[in-house]
């Protein structure tokens, strides 16, 4: 029984081998070659241009102190998010506080002087001044009377010249005292002169300005952010002496980034403001928009700068990273076929094979541009032709073929 089973298997194998050999023999006799073909049509192939560029911040600023000093507090570091008005760092303000105190003291003195000259003398001061004037006036009148009487005596020879001159001196002193008292009384009752009032007013205004300046300088010991964003760089350390204008922080809004692409001037006509661009970084893609096209060319590279703005709400892309941008352009209407379909031998012009009623017909073609692994056929093909895309390398003109694969392309 076992021997019969083995014989049956052997007979089956012999039958299969015989049939295969016969089939191959018939195929070789007939010369039919199996190929794959596609039916071509005219289409607008999308052209993809790729450029690389470095991410930049759209809005950024460098923060600096407006007064010199030594750093006391540093409140932020790289990566810290800040809002307008946030205090980034502070200087030691002791000396600035002293200047404010001195200015405040001087302002109070000037205010008191201005108040005094504006209000004039008090009633008690006026009474004292009037009493003093009356007193020295009485002394002067007595001295004048005595001088006249002593003058008569001197003329009659009753007194010596030295005695008369002594009386005249007393009269002169009394007169000066009276004039001085009259001036004091007049100043007390009438108030200060306009020139004096103007001088005191000017001193007060100067004191106010000094106080304001000292207060402003004190406020500038706090460095506040002028924009909302993220601290990109920090340039200072604790207890560092800082001069006016020394860069302290760089702050930028990284929720919106930009990249400037160097586009060849021969391609710039394909770019328009508002075009969409696909930006890629480490496999992660974001959509960008063309916001600016430079009006001039870089003569050194023959390129034109195209600025693309990219939304970055997650803050996962950072300034300084290099990204790749892809820009899609609708190509002209043409026939495109796989690159492998075209054959070129030596100096012979490139050719393809088309299937015409199970016959391979060799046709020379004119090639255009390569787009996405496809060749543009400028001439030599028409829509509806069936082009051999597999097995063409084994064909000769007028070979018999059998299409066993292929799709519309």
If one counts the domains in the chain, the total is 3
**CATH code, domain with 68:** 2.40.50.100
Is residue 344 included in any domain, yes or no? no
Question: Does the pLDDT at position 401 exceed 80?
Answer: yes
Work out whether the CA dihedral 227, 230, 235, 236 comes out positive or negative. Answer: positive
Do 188 and 79 share a structural domain? no
Say yes or no to pLDDT of 120 above 70: no
pLDDT at 19: 46
Q: Which of 339, 262, 326, 331 is nearest to 294 (CA)?
A: 262
Whether residue 122 has pLDDT greater than 90:
no
Check whether 137 has a pLDDT greater than 80: yes
CATH number at residue 279: 2.40.30.170
What does the block give as tokens for 22?
Answer: 């016969």
Q: What residue numbers bound the domain in which 201 lies? A: 97-217
pLDDT at 51 exceeding the cut of 70: yes
Residues 101 and 187 occupy one common structural domain: yes
194 and 265: one domain? Answer: no
Based on the domain organization, do 109 and 182 belong to the same domain?
yes
Instruction: Tell whether 162 is covered by a domain.
Output: yes
pLDDT confidence of 191, banded at 50, 70, 90? Answer: low
Buried/exposed 130-154: b ≥16 CB within 10 Å, e otherwise: eebbeebeebbeebeeebeebeeeb
Same domain, 208 and 154: yes
Of 331, 356, 389, the domain-final residue: 331
Mean pLDDT computed over every residue of the chain: 85
Summarize the confidence of residues 241-252 as an average pLDDT: 96
Give pTM, 2 decimals.
0.56
Could you give phi then psi for residue 283, rounded to 5 degrees? 85, -10
Domain boundary (331, 351, 372) is at: 331
pLDDT tier at 97 (50, 70, 90 boundaries)?
A: very high
pLDDT above 70: residue 24: no
Assess if residue 15 is contained within a domain.
no
Residue-level pLDDT at 69: 96
Q: What is the pLDDT of residue 102?
A: 94
Report whether pLDDT(190) > 70.
no
């Amino acid at each position: 029984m076992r021997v019969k089973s083995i014989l049956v298997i052997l007979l089956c194998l012999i039958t299969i081998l015989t049939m295969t050999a016969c089939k191959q023999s018939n195929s070789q006799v007939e010369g039919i070659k199996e190929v794959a073909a596609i039916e071509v049509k005219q289409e607008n192939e999308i052209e993809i241009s790729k450029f690389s560029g470095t991410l930049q911040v759209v809005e950024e600023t460098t923060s600096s102190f407006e007064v010199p000093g030594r750093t006391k507090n540093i409140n932020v570091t790289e990566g810290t998010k800040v809002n307008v008005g946030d205090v980034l760092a502070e200087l030691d303000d002791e000396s600035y506080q002293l200047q404010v105190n001195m200015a405040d003291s001087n302002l109070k003195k000037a205010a008191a002087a201005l108040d005094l000259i504006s209000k004039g003398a008090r009633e008690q001061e006026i009474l004292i001044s009037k009493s003093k004037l009356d007193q020295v006036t009485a002394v002067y009148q007595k001295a004048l009377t005595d001088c006249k009487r002593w003058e008569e005596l001197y003329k009659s020879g009753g007194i010596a010249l030295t005695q008369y001159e002594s009386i005249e001196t007393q009269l002169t002193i009394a007169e000066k005292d009276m004039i001085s008292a009259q001036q004091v009384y007049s100043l007390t009752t009438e108030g200060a002169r306009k020139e004096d009032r103007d001088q005191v007013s000017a001193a007060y205004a100067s004191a106010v300005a000094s106080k304001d300046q000292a207060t402003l300088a004190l406020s500038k010991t706090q460095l506040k952010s002028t924009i909302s964003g993220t601290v990109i760089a920090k340039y200072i350390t604790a207890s560092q002496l800082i001069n006016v204008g020394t860069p302290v922080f760089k702050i930028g809004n990284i929720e919106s980034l930009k990249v400037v692409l160097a586009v060849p001037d021969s391609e710039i006509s394909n770019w328009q403001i508002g075009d969409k661009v696909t930006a890629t970084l480490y496999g992660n893609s974001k959509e960008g928009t063309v916001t600016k096209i430079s009006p001039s060319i870089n003569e050194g590279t023959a390129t034109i700068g195209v600025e693309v703005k990219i939304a970055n709400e997650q803050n996962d892309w950072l300034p300084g990273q290099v990204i790749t941008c892809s820009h899609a352009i609708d190509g002209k209407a043409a026939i495109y076929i796989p690159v492998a379909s075209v054959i070129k031998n030596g100096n012979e012009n490139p050719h393809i094979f088309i299937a015409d009623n199970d016959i391979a017909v060799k046709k020379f073609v004119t090639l255009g541009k390569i787009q996405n692994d496809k060749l543009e056929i400028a001439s030599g093909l028409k829509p509806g032709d069936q082009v051999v895309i597999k097995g063409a390398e084994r064909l000769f003109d007028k070979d018999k073929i059998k299409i066993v694969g292929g799709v519309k392309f």
